[in-house]
Amino acid sequence: GAGVSQTPSNKVTEKGKYVELRCDPISGHTALYWYRQSLGQGPEFLIYFQGTGAADDSGLPNDRFFAVRPEGSVSTLKIQRTERGDSAVYLCASSLSGLSTDTQYFGPGTRLTVL
Amino acid sequence: DAKTTQPNSMESNEEEPVHLPCNHSTISGTDYIHWYRQLPSQGPEYVIHGLTSNVNNRMASLAIAEDRKSSTLILHRATLRDAAVYYCILPNAGGTSYGKLTFGQGTILTVHP
């Protein structure tokens, strides 16, 4: 079956621009997570959705970052006024119900480069 | 929050067993131990998880110490495709009931032909 997909795979933008990153989770998975991975580091949690609602957004670094999941499936991570420090790989994962014992299935990531 | 400690790197030869250790001395009784790995230029993938008993699946085995303060991921016959960063994670450790994964630095496994 189809796994988690993310688009675009690569995004190059200029400082100050707005970007949107898309995640298509596995069909039927109610839980969706966004993580960010800087070079040489492990992924860092950004936000967790259960259905349409953001149950935990404690990992979003500041108010330039926002994410939505309006119909409980596809999610979009939005970054306003991008900065060079936002350059990273943004990973999306989904799991069946969000329980901590659930397996999380990760997408291939979107590599964001801010020039 | 319970934390995990892993060696920065390990090396193995192809077709030999690999034992990847993880220390989690502050683990609580309800914390599950999960292992994920990340192959180059890919997202992480689930490997195995357990609570108290040793666990086996088609990818690996997980040996959990009796006091649960450490665990070992065992790859029975390493292949070149097993070269990856391996992460030992306690998803419950932040006090959440959902899978908020906290990745550390992980162990970089190099497999030599």
Residue A33 touches chain B, beta carbons under 8 Å: yes
Over range A61-76, report the average pLDDT. 97
Over range A61-77, report the average pLDDT. 97
CA atoms of A19 and B13, how far apart (whole Å): 44
Over range A91-104, report the average pLDDT. 94
Q: Is the per-residue pLDDT at B1 higher than 60?
A: no
Q: Spell out the residues 6+ positions from residue B26 whose beta carbon is closer than 8 angstroms to its own.
A: B2, B3
pLDDT, tens digit (0-9, with 9 covering 90-100), for B51-68 = 999 999 999 999 999 999
B23 forms bridges with which residues in the sheet? B5, B70
Over range A33-38, report the average pLDDT. 97
Q: How much helix, strand and coil, in percent to the nearest 5, is found in chain B?
A: 5, 45, 55
Q: Report the SS3 class of residue A98.
A: coil
Residue A65 touches chain B, beta carbons under 8 Å: no
The answer to whether B20 touches B44, Cβ cutoff 8 Å, is no
DSSP string, B36-51: EEE-TTS--EEEEEES
Neighboring chain B residues of A4 at a CB cutoff of 8 Å: 43
pLDDT of residue B91: 86
Query: Interior CA angle at B89 toward B22 and A79, to 5°?
Result: 140
**Separation in Å, CA B80 to CA A99, B51, B83:** 33, 29, 6
Over range B17-25, report the average pLDDT. 96
pLDDT of residue B74: 98
The confidence band for B22, taking pLDDT boundaries of 50, 70 and 90, is very high
Q: Is the per-residue pLDDT at B4 higher than 70?
A: yes
Over range B86-101, report the average pLDDT. 83
The confidence band for B94, taking pLDDT boundaries of 50, 70 and 90, is low
Chain-chain contact of B49 with A101 (C-beta, under 8 angstroms): yes
Cα torsion for A69, B90, B57, A31, to the nearest 10°? -10
Tell me whether strands A10-13 and A110-114 are parallel, antiparallel or unpaired. parallel
